[in-house]
Each structure stands twice: as C-alpha cells, then as structure tokens.
C-alpha cells in the first residue's frame, strides 16, 4: 500500500493507492511530501519511485538488501537510513521487529516499511496539527518527529519487559520455576538484541549530523535533535543495558536453580541405590547355585531373610530422612 501525505500551509492532503503510477502522478514537486510504502516489495515499482525523485538506481538494491548506510560518500543524493525497531507486539514470547528504510531528500521523505510501523501511522494522523511547523522548518522536521516517536515507542516496550521480568523474578527467587522459565528469559533477551542495533544506528546518525558538510538536516532541526533526542537516546540506552543486565542475572540464578534441582534428584537416586544395595547383595548371595547351602534346608530361613531385607530398607529410609537426605 502507498500513502502520500502532501503538506500545505493550512492542511494535510492524504492520498492512498496500491498503484505506483497513480501515486506518482499525485505528487506536487513544489510541496513537502511524505510517501509511505507499506508492505511494498515490488522491485519494479520501487525503481520507479527512486527514479521519480531523481535518486541513484543503486538505492533500490540498498532498500531490498536492508543496507545500513547513512550517507553514501559516492552518491550524495539523499540521506538513507535503515532501521530495526522493537515493537510492543509479542509473538511466540518474542518481540516483533519492524524493519524498513527511510529516505530523506530536499523536500521529500520516503519510508519503506517492510512491517507497518504503528507509531508512524499514529504520527501521520497527528501531523494535521503540525502543517505550519513543517512549512516553516521543512520536511526534515518530519524526519525528527519520526525518530522522536520511535524513541517514545521504547518506553512502552521497556515497561512491558519490566513487568514480565518482575513476574519471572518471583518465579526464579521462589525457586518455583523450571527450564521453561529459563527459556522465557533467554528468548526475551535474544529478541531484544535488535534494540541495541537501533540505538547504535540512531547514535551514529546523530554523530553524522555534526559534520559541517551535512546539508540534509537544517540547523533548527539539528538543534532539536541535540536538545531533545540526544539525552533521550542516552537515557533509553542506559535503561536498555540495565534490563539486559537484569535478564542476565535472572538467567544465571535460574541456571543455578536448575542445577541445584538436578543435583537433588541425583542425590536421591544415589541414596535409593545405596538403600537397596545390601538387599541386592543378599539376593545375589543366596541366588548362587551351590549344592551345599545349609540355610536352604531351614523352613524358617526364607521369611527371616525377607524380614532382614525389610528392616534394612526401613532403617535406611528412616536414617536418610533424619539426616534430611530425602
């Protein structure tokens, strides 16, 4: 699906279609526009979009290969960025990751969303109130708002992680969890790795903005990035690292719990084996097929041996319980 947002001084014009040519005809090159390509994996159609905006054809490969390049020194036709963003959606105990690309030009921004990014849909609905700001600051202000919404999205994600870890921590510390508890923590930790790449990508982009010859972001918008988002990223990065450390600690404790329970099972099996060892010896001793075994001729000897065996078992179990081995 293709959604075209055209910014006028007093209003926001919205146009949606599944046909590339139809959308491209609606583009007014004199206005600031935002083109959202959602679930759009048509290589030919993507090539048409790239050509329409006068971008290098190599950008098509970069989009489909999910290239992380921010600024291509050889082809300085736009600001190109790829993203992997953790979303609050959960599937099979893993966070879903929204992937795509952002292309920023002089008066246009294009987002190729492999997975629809809900925060961008919300932002698109709220932009009606910001048309004057975009007219004043330029389309790069939308670029700033996108990153602001992406970072705000992480508060929801981290809040969910904290609540889940609180529940898992109770299981771990009460030693009521099992290997499934450990697997839940490990799965959650593994699925949050893309958050690290996302933060590092945003930090790299902000570092690039400090270059003197960087002209894709205007100075007023650069100041917004530096004043609001730099500290926001640092704070979220610290929170992210703290959550990862929390997960690691819980995994370590739960690993010890599992090892302890396994050790207890082995000890009990060892004790049971020890209890029945004398019985096995007696059974084996009197199971020998020798002709001259005088005990075999005594009618009272069989029940006596049974009683001795029972006393050994009962006495061994009582002693093991007294020592708290069982």
248 and 279 part of one domain: no
Give CA–CA dist 64/40, Å, rounded: 11
Model pLDDT, residue 88 = 75
Beta-strand (E) ranges in the chain? 2-7, 12-17, 32-38, 79-91, 94-104, 108-113
Same domain, 236 and 267: no
Q: What is the pLDDT of residue 109?
A: 93
The answer to whether 287 and 324 are in contact (CB under 8 A) is no
Q: Looking at 63-77, 193-207, 237-251, which range is the least confident one?
A: 63-77
63-78 average pLDDT score: 65
For the segment 292-304, the average pLDDT, to the nearest whole number, is: 76
Residues 252, 264 within the same domain:
no
Q: Among candidates 41, 45, 32, 176, which has minimal Cα distance to 105?
A: 32
Total domains in the fold of the chain:
2
Place 311 in a pLDDT band, splitting at 50, 70 and 90.
Answer: confident
213 pLDDT band, cuts 50/70/90, is: low
Tokens of 186: 């490990």
Domain boundary residue among 257, 273, 301? 257
pLDDT of residue 68: 58
Residues 280 and 169 in one domain: no
98-116 pLDDT, tens digit per residue, is: 888 899 988 899 999 888 8
Q: Is 249 exposed, middle or buried (0-12, 13-18, 19+ CB in 10 A)?
A: middle
Q: Are residue 19 and residue 121 in the same domain, yes or no?
A: yes
Over residues 174-194, the mean pLDDT reads 81
- Of the residues 238, 257, 276, which one is the last residue of a structural domain? 257
Are residues 137 and 7 part of one domain? yes
Residues 267 and 153 in one domain: no
CATH number, position 303: 1.20.58.340
Query: What is the residue-wise DSSP string for 22-72?
Result: HHHHT--TTSEEEEEEES---HHHHHHHHHHTT--THHHHHHHTT---S--
CATH number, domain of 167, equals 3.30.460.20
Same domain, residue pair 108 and 21: yes
The pLDDT of residue 215: 79
Domain boundary among 257, 288, 304: 257
* Mean pLDDT, the chain, whole residue set: 83
Same domain? 198 vs 276: no
The pLDDT assigned to 35 comes to 93
Asked whether residue 212 carries a pLDDT value surpassing 70, the answer given is: no
236 shares a domain with 120: yes
Calpha distance 306→292 (Å, rounded):
21
The answer on 295 and 268 residing in a single domain is yes
pLDDT in tens, 154-173: 888 888 888 888 888 888 88
Query: Is 303 found in the same domain as 190?
Result: no
Range of the domain at 127: 2-257
pLDDT of residue 216: 82
Tell whether the model's pLDDT for residue 54 goes beyond 70. yes
């Amino acid at each position: 699906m293709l959604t075209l947002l055209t910014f006028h001084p007093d209003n926001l014009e919205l146009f949606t279609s599944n046909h590339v040519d139809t959308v491209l005809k609606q583009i007014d090159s004199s206005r600031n526009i935002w083109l959202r390509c959602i679930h759009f994996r048509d290589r030919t159609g993507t090539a048409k979009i790239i050509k329409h905006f006068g971008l290098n054809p190599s950008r098509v490969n970069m989009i489909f290969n999910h290239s992380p390049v921010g600024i291509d020194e050889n082809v300085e036709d736009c600001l190109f960025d790829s993203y992997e963003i953790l979303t609050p959606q959960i599937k099979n105990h893993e966070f879903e990751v929204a992937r795509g690309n952002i292309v920023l030009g002089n008066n246009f921004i294009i987002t190729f969303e492999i997975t629809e990014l809900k925060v961008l849909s919300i932002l698109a609905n709220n932009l009606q109130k910001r048309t004057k700001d975009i007219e004043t600051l330029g389309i790069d202000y939308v670029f700033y708002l996108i990153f602001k919404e992406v970072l705000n999205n992480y508060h929801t994600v981290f809040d969910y992680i904290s609540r889940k870890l609180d529940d898992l921590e109770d299981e771990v510390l009460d030693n009521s969890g099992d290997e499934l508890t450990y697997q839940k923590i490990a799965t959650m930790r593994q699925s949050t790795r893309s958050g690290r790449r996302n933060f590092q990508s945003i930090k790299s982009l902000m570092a690039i903005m400090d270059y003197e010859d960087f002209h894709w972001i205007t100075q007023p918008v650069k100041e917004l990035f530096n004043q609001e988002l730099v500290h926001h990223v640092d704070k979220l990065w610290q929170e992210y690292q703290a959550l990862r450390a929390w997960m690691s600690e819980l995994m370590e404790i739960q690993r010890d719990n599992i090892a302890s329970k396994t050790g207890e099972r082995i000890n009990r099996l060892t004790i049971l084996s020890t209890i029945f060892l004398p019985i096995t010896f007696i059974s084996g001793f009197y199971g020998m097929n020798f002709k001259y075994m005088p005990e075999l001729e005594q009618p009272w000897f069989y029940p006596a041996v049974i009683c001795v065996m029972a006393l050994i078992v009962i006495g061994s179990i009582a002693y093991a319980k007294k020592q708290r081995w069982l």
